[in-house]
Amino acid sequence: MVGMERRRDRKKPSTLVVAGCGRVDPIRGDRIAMIARVSIVVLNYNTRALLGACLRSIEQFAPDAETIVVDNASADGSVEMVRVQFPRFELMVSPANVGFARALNWGLRRATGTAILALNADTELCPNTLPGLVALLEQLPRAGILGPCQFADDPDDATSPMIASGFGDPTLSAETARLLFFRDSIAARLRIGAWQKPRTPKRVDWLMGAALLFRRACLDAIKGFDETQFMYGEDWDIGYRARQAGWEIYLVPAAPIIHRENASGQSVFGSSRQAQVLRANLYFHEKHFGRASRRVLALLHLIGAGLRLPLFSFSRARWLAQIEQARAAWQGLQ
C-alpha cells in the first residue's frame, strides 16, 4: 500500500500555462494555442538534491500542472524535503522500493490530466519542454508517446553533451551488429551514423524512459508499464506495446530537457547495472518474440562478452562488469 499526502485543495489540472516561454509549433515554429490538461509524475529514489532541482524546474516552467511525486522508499531525506519545500505537490510514499514500473504506475493512475509527463527525478524541465511536447501531441492524433531531446547539461550551451533519446527496437539483427561487430564503438570513433539531434519531430520505436509524455488514451489502452521487471527495459516494452496498439512515438527536438543520467540506477545496481539491463533485454525478447529469440540473444551477449574481456583487462571495474554480463547471458541460455 502506498501512503499519500492528501490535500483538500487538490483539483484537476488547468489548461497548460507555462511560465517564461512561447507556445511554439514544433514543425512550423509559430505560436499555437494549447488545450491539453497536463499532469506531471516524478519518480524518486534516493536522489534528494536532484529531485529538488527537478521540482524547482516544474515550479518555474509548469506552475499550473498537477504534480505528483512518487517516492520509492528513499532513505536520504527526500520525503521530508518535498513536504517542507514543495507543499503544493502531491506526495505518494511507498513503504519499500518496488521498482521503477510499479511505482510509476501508481502515480500515472493517480494523475488526472489528458496528457501525463512521467519524469525521473534526475531530470530538469527547460522553458520549452512542455510547450514543445504538447504542441505536437495536439497536432498528431495518433501520437501516443512523445519524448524530449535529452541533454547532460544546459541545452543552450553548445558544449553540453546530447544524450541519445530515441531508438529502434533492439532486434536480433541490431544486437548482432552491436555485440559482434562493435557497430556502436566504430561509429562513435569514426563519427559514422552517430546519434544527432533531429531538426524535425522524428518517429521512433521507443524513447528513453527518463522523460515521456503520454496521451491519456494511449496510456489507458496499453495499461501502463509492465511491472514484471524491477528496473530497466520498461521503455522498450511500453513503446513496443503502444505501436502494436496503433499509436505512434515521436522524439521532439523543439522540447529539450536536462537529464543527469542513471542517478538512481547506479545507486541500486552499481557495477552490475549493465547485467540488469541485459536481463531486461532477455525478458523483452522472450515476452514479444519467444523463448528461442531470448536464447539466441543470450548467446550473442555471451560471445560478445568473451570478445570484450581482453579489451577491458586494463580496468578491473569494467572487466568485472563484463563478467556480470556474461553470467546474466549464461542464465538466459537456460
What pLDDT, in 10s, does the model give residues 250-270? 999 999 999 987 555 555 555
- Residue 314: which pLDDT band, with cuts at 50, 70 and 90? confident
Same domain? 59 vs 148: yes
Same domain? 9 vs 70: yes
Residue 222, pLDDT above cutoff 70: yes
Q: What is the pLDDT of residue 195?
A: 47
More confident residue, 171 or 141: 141
Q: Which residues of 141-157 are buried (b: 16+ CB within 10 A; e: fewer)?
A: eebbbbbbbbbeeebee
Which three three-digit cell numbers place residue 24? Answer: 511554439
Same domain? 303 vs 240: no
Same domain? 249 vs 302: no
Which three three-digit cell numbers place residue 237? Answer: 516494452
Rounded distance between C-alpha atoms, residue 245 and residue 274, angstroms: 30
Q: How far is it between the farthest Cα atoms of the chain?
A: 61
Same domain? 113 vs 188: yes
Same domain? 243 vs 327: no
Domain range enclosing 282: 268-333
Rounded distance between C-alpha atoms, residue 68 and residue 323, angstroms: 39
Q: What is the pLDDT of residue 271?
A: 60
The residue from 246, 265, 284 where one domain ends is 265
How many other C-beta atoms lie within 10 A of the C-beta of residue 238? 27
More confident residue, 309 or 327: 327
Rounded distance between C-alpha atoms, residue 21 and residue 127, angstroms: 5
The residue from 218, 242, 265 where one domain ends is 265
pLDDT cut 90: percent of the chain above it:
50
More confident residue, 90 or 273: 90
User: pLDDT tens, 123-140?
Assistant: 999 999 999 999 999 999
Q: What is the pLDDT of residue 263?
A: 57
pLDDT cut 70: percent of the chain above it:
74
User: pLDDT tens, 25-45?
Assistant: 444 433 334 446 999 999 999
More confident residue, 260 or 141: 141
More confident residue, 99 or 270: 99
Comparing 33-37, 218-222, 301-305, the range with the smallest average pLDDT is 33-37
The CATH number assigned to the domain holding 118 equals 3.90.550.10
Q: What is the pLDDT of residue 58?
A: 98
Question: CA nearest 29: which of 253, 190, 270?
Answer: 253
More confident residue, 3 or 95: 95
Highest mean pLDDT among 82-91, 166-175, 313-322: 82-91
Give 80's contacts (C-beta < 8 A, 6+ positions apart): none
| Mean pLDDT computed over 55-78 | 97
Q: What is the pLDDT of residue 177?
A: 65
Strand partners, 43: 70, 120
Cα→Cα distances 302→174, 269, 325, 328, Å: 16, 20, 8, 9
Same domain? 87 vs 152: yes
Q: What is the pLDDT of residue 29?
A: 39
The pTM (predicted TM-score) of the whole model is 0.81
Residue 54 near residue 42, CB atoms below 8 Å = yes
- SS3 per-residue string spanning the chain: CCEEECCCCCCCCCECCCCCCCCECCCCCCECCCCCEEEEEEEECCCHHHHHHHHHHHHHHCCCCEEEEEECCCCCCHHHHHHHHCCCCEEEECCCCCCHHHHHHHHHHHCCCCEEEEEECCEEECCCHHHHHHHHHHHCCCEEEEEEEEECCCCCCCCCCEECCEECCCCHHHHHHHHHCCHHHHHHHHCCCCCCCCCCCEECCEECCCEEEEEHHHHHHHCCCCCCCCCCCHHHHHHHHHHHCCCEEEEEEEEEEEECCCHHHHHHHHHHHHHHHHHHHHHHHHHHHCHHHHHHHHHHHHHHHHHHHHHHCCCHHHHHHHHHHHHHHHHHHC
More confident residue, 214 or 12: 214
How many other C-beta atoms lie within 10 A of the C-beta of residue 291? 9
The residue from 205, 232, 265 where one domain ends is 265
Residue 8, pLDDT above cutoff 60: no
- Residue 332: which pLDDT band, with cuts at 50, 70 and 90? confident
Same domain? 206 vs 93: yes
Same domain? 140 vs 210: yes
Same domain? 275 vs 136: no
More confident residue, 228 or 13: 228
Residue 275, pLDDT above cutoff 80: yes
Same domain? 207 vs 319: no
Residue 23, pLDDT above cutoff 60: no
Question: CA nearest 139: which of 242, 33, 220, 218?
Answer: 33
Same domain? 115 vs 8: yes
Residue 1, pLDDT above cutoff 60: no
User: pLDDT tens, 186-208?
Assistant: 333 333 334 466 788 999 998 99
Q: What is the pLDDT of residue 20?
A: 32
Total domains present in the chain: 2
How many other C-beta atoms lie within 10 A of the C-beta of residue 39? 25
Residue linked to cell 515521436: 250
